[in-house]
Structure 1
Amino acid sequence: MHKFLRAVGFSKIKDRKELTSLITSSIQNAQKRNYVTNNENMILAEFARDYADGIGIAVCGEFDDDDKFIYEYYYPYLIPSAVSTEEDLNVERHAATYSYAGVCNEPRLGVTLIFYLQNMVPYIKYENEGKFPIRGTTLSLSALSVKGQIMMPIAKTEEEKEVAKKKINYRNKLINNARRGDETAIESLTLDDMDLYTTLSKKIRKQDIYSLVDTYFMPYGVECDQYSVLGEVLESKKVINHFTDEAVYIMKIDCNGIEFDVCINEADLLGEPAVGRRFKGNIWMQGVINYPESN
């Protein structure tokens, strides 16, 4: 059973029989159906059904010679609501299934962003047509979480927020210059990191870590598309899974300057989300590549 199935409101499914019934229902009552022929002349299909506004289950597989659908795998999803980054992307197929992982070198995060690709079928179509590389693509991100908590924000004046924003913009410029081989920028970043480490080492003896660290984004566990995050809640809404009647929170958060949506079951979230508060949790990152022709 998929670990993140409970994030979209299916926490009470306990056995294979219930799961099979859910998958069958998702295929038979799919609201979105996508088909594509791969380079091995197999017809791949993806059936997706929403169980609340923006959340649902996608079932993927292939058709055999008798036009019978053979189920291969499924995954829960949250449809992202906005563009998160315009940085260049790379996509690689997973070894075991016809699914894909995307890679984005987003300098604001400080780590290489790896995500599970939601819109697999359009990618395969472009690949078959030999249209890569495509200029002007953007990336919309979303995430599922099975454990999280709401934290209060760090008190800041408007002046302090403006100063922090300028520092972040300056650091992002240095990172971009460093990626181009600018030695001065590399030295400046190294010195800044050393100063930051020294300052934190002194303050952490007397202050709580979450009063010093406003936001973070770092890998979690051994799977490359899972992360531990802390970010500011920009929007929040509660939706009800109409199949199970379970309540689910969908939040838009700002993490290191990157905005993306997070979905979590109400039972797995400690605290009440509200704009301005912070979300801390472990997430499975998903992404949708927006192609220029489809905009």
Structure 2
Amino acid sequence: MHKYTRAIGFGEEISGSMIRKVEEEVRTEFTSHERRILDESTDYCEFRKIIGERLELALYGMEDLDENFEKEYSIPVFQGKGITTYADVIVEKKIDKEAYVGICEDARVDISLMFYLQNPMEYVRELQSGNLGKKKTSVTLSALACEGTVLLPVTKNEKDKKEQREEFRNRMMLVSAARKGDSEAIETLTLKDMDTYQKVSKRVVTEDIFSIIDTYFMPYGVECDLYSIMGEILDMDLVINEVTREKIMVLTLDANEMIFDLCIPKTKIFGEPAVGRRFKANIWLQGKINFS
């Protein structure tokens, strides 16, 4: 069982036999199904079943002419809303299985964002048609978390908020210029980072680190699509896993001015979530490429 299957309501107490039963239901009572030809006798198949609002379980594997299915892997899927970024995306296939990772450069997070691609069959279809480079694309990101913590917001007045927004946008412009090879922008960013490091080093002696850092988005662990994040809660909703009846909290977060949705079991949230408070968790980042 995929670790983050717990994030959509299949907790640690769910047995392996139950997961296998659910996977069989995904294959036989699917909500959506796609396939592509591998050779004369074999198709590669994707089966999906909706198990709650915006929650899905996806099953991948090969099927022969006699409809004998051999499972390759299954994953939980949480569908995001809206558009997270219009940054250009590079897609790479994983070595060990028929799965894909999207990579985009978004100046808001200062790093190359890597995410599990939610619509691999659509991507391969667009790639094989030869129309991939002709279409404008955007990305809708979403996140799955097995547990997380609610933190109180950092107190800021309107002047502080305005200055923070201006400073953030100036940094985005510098990062964009630096990525294009602007030596002056690279030098300015280096000096600003050194200045920030000195200020934080002094403050952290007497203050809690989370009273200094408002939000963050940074890699976590050795997997390329795992991140540690902290963001402001903009909206929240409650959905139900129709199989286990577990309550799943859906949070809309703003981390480094990048807005995306996150799902997490309600019982695995430490603290009381509310709009305006912050949320901290380790996440598995997913994304859907929207082909226009």
The TM-score with structure 2 as length reference comes to: 0.96
Specify the SS of the correspondent of 1:97: coil
Specify the SS of the correspondent of 1:282: strand
- Structure 2 residue 102 is matched with structure 1 residue 106: no
Specify the SS of the correspondent of 2:76: strand
- Cα separation, 2, equivalents of 1:68 and 1:198: 62
Within a 5 Å distance, the mapping from 1:216-235 to structure 2 comes to 216-235=216-235
Could you tell me which residue of structure 2 aligns to residue 77 of structure 1? 77
For the Cα contact (< 8 Å) 1:13–1:19, is it kept in 2?
no
- Cα separation, 1, equivalents of 2:260 and 2:50: 19
What amino acid does structure 2 have at the position aligned with 1:52? Answer: G
Could you tell me which residue of structure 1 aligns to residue 26 of structure 2? 26
Instruction: Write the deviation string for residues 99-144 of structure 1: whole angstroms up to 9, x where unpaired.
Output: 1111111121121111000001110101211223244200000010
- Cα separation, 2, equivalents of 1:14 and 1:52: 17
Within a 5 Å distance, the mapping from 1:1-295 to structure 2 comes to 1-38=1-38, 42-292=42-292
Tell me the percent identity.
38
The alignment's C-alpha RMSD in Å is 1.5
Gap change, CA 1:65 and 1:41, over 3 Å in 2: closer
Specify the SS of the correspondent of 1:133: helix
Aligned residues: 292
Instruction: Write the deviation string for residues 161-196 of structure 1: whole angstroms up to 9, x where unpaired.
Output: 111101101110011111111111111111111110
- Cα separation, 2, equivalents of 1:277 and 1:40: 56
Gap change, CA 1:179 and 1:169, over 3 Å in 2: same
Specify the SS of the correspondent of 1:146: coil
Gap change, CA 1:190 and 1:38, over 3 Å in 2: farther
- Cα separation, 2, equivalents of 1:189 and 1:228: 23
For the Cα contact (< 8 Å) 1:39–1:128, is it kept in 2?
no
For the Cα contact (< 8 Å) 2:41–2:64, is it kept in 1?
no
- Cα separation, 2, equivalents of 1:41 and 1:132: 28
Of stretches 132-141 and 162-171 in structure 1, the one that deviates more from structure 2 is 132-141
Gap change, CA 1:40 and 1:173, over 3 Å in 2: farther
What amino acid does structure 2 have at the position aligned with 1:163? Answer: E
- Cα separation, 2, equivalents of 1:39 and 1:177: 47
- Cα separation, 1, equivalents of 2:171 and 2:269: 33
Uncovered stretches (5+) of structure 2, i.e. residues with no partner: none
For the Cα contact (< 8 Å) 1:38–1:124, is it kept in 2?
no
For the Cα contact (< 8 Å) 2:41–2:65, is it kept in 1?
no
- Cα separation, 1, equivalents of 2:37 and 2:67: 13
What amino acid does structure 1 have at the position aligned with 2:224? Answer: C
Runs of 4+ with deviation above 6 angstroms: none
- Cα separation, 2, equivalents of 1:126 and 1:41: 23
Specify the SS of the correspondent of 2:136: coil
What amino acid does structure 1 have at the position aligned with 2:83? Answer: V
The TM-score with structure 1 as length reference comes to: 0.95
Of stretches 32-41 and 14-23 in structure 1, the one that deviates more from structure 2 is 32-41
Instruction: Write the deviation string for residues 5-56 of structure 1: whole angstroms up to 9, x where unpaired.
Output: 1110111554332111010112222111122235898422211111111012
